[in-house]
Amino acid sequence: MLSLCVVYMVVISAGAVQSFTFSAGKGDGSQHSDYPVNETNIDNLPKFWTRKMRSFFNLLDDDLDGVLTQHEFLDTIPNRMDQYFSRNEASVFKAIWHSTWDFFFVTREKNDNLTVEDVIKMQSRYLTVPHFPEHGEAWFQEVFKLVLSHGNQLIDLSDYTAFLQSFGVDPETAPKSFNIFDIDDDGYLDEKEYVKNGLGYFADAKQSSGRYLWGSFPPKKVA
């Protein structure tokens, strides 16, 4: 039985300690983060970074209507995960994903029907709020350990392809990312290689290898 109760203690600048676990969220905004959302005009954010967030939004917006509903977010990817991962891994991911919605996407007030601008604003905390990226890093570590690596230290190309397919990405684009991330060229991604690039997609304002997190950039959705 995998532990669902890894608690992350993160020291916020004020000196307060916020703790949360990725598996505790209900997906209703009840585990929302208290990190401030910057009200800056999104046109002032770095252009390439904003393109990455738009691309990510397009992966989540399953029906491509420009609005991400709570159900669309909570159901689409975990349902696909069922096809590619064991029951246990898929259910762990589902719990993480509920907390992801709460912590990274919504506030108590705004917790349904997000536009791409809403999502960009929420994600911009990676660039503007001290310590926010540490939560993203913890997210990728947890997904690596509890889901993608099947409890091993490494993921291979088929694990990575399954991860991309769960996000609706064309599996043919997986080898390209995988090879770019596999710096030591041993045919596996270790936790460091995966987490660095995963976090890089969200936290690097400039172009970095992390832009290939979802296969090619921009990501190619399965038709």
User: Closer to ligand NAG at the Cβ: 57 or 178?
Assistant: 57
Supply the DSSP symbol for 221.
Answer: B
Query: What is the rounded CA–CA span in Å between residue 32 and residue 173?
Result: 33
Q: Which two tokens stand for residue 202?
A: 């969200």
Q: Does 158 bind ligand NAG (CB under 6 A)?
A: no
Q: Is 30 in the site for ligand NAG (CB under 6 A)?
A: no
For residues 179 and 70, give the distance between their C-alpha atoms in angstroms, rounded to a whole number: 34
Strands (E), 75-166: 114-115, 154-155
Q: Between 7 and 15, whose beta carbon lies closer to ligand NAG?
A: 15
Site for ligand NAG in 61-90 (CB under 6 A): 69
Q: Binders of ligand NAG among 203-222, rule CB under 6 A?
A: none
Residue 5 CA to its chain's centroid (Å): 19
What is the greatest pairwise CA distance in the chain? 48
Min. distance of Cβ 40 from ligand NAG in angstroms? 4
Question: Judging by beta carbons within 10 Å of its beta carbon (0-12, 13-18, 19+), is residue 13 exposed, middle or buried?
Answer: exposed
- Contact predicate 100/22, CB 8 Å: yes
Size of the site for ligand NAG (CB under 6 A): 8
41 near ligand NAG, rule: CB under 6 A: no
Asked if residue 128 binds ligand NAG (CB under 6 A), the reply is yes
115 binding ligand NAG? (CB under 6 A): no
Two structure tokens written together for 41: 């005009």
Give the one residue of 6, 12, 38, 150 binding ligand NAG; rule: CB under 6 A: 38
Residue 55 as a binder of ligand NAG (CB under 6 A): the answer is no
Element (H, E) at 82: helix 70-84
Q: Residue 72 corresponds to which amino acid?
A: E
Q: Is 44 in the site for ligand NAG (CB under 6 A)?
A: yes
| Window of 23-31, 35-43, 146-154, 197-205 that interacts with ligand NAG by CB under 6 A | 35-43
* Out of 113, 153, 158, 179, the residue judged to bind ligand NAG by CB under 6 A: 113
Interface residues with ligand NAG (CB under 6 A)? Answer: 36, 38, 40, 44, 69, 112-113, 128
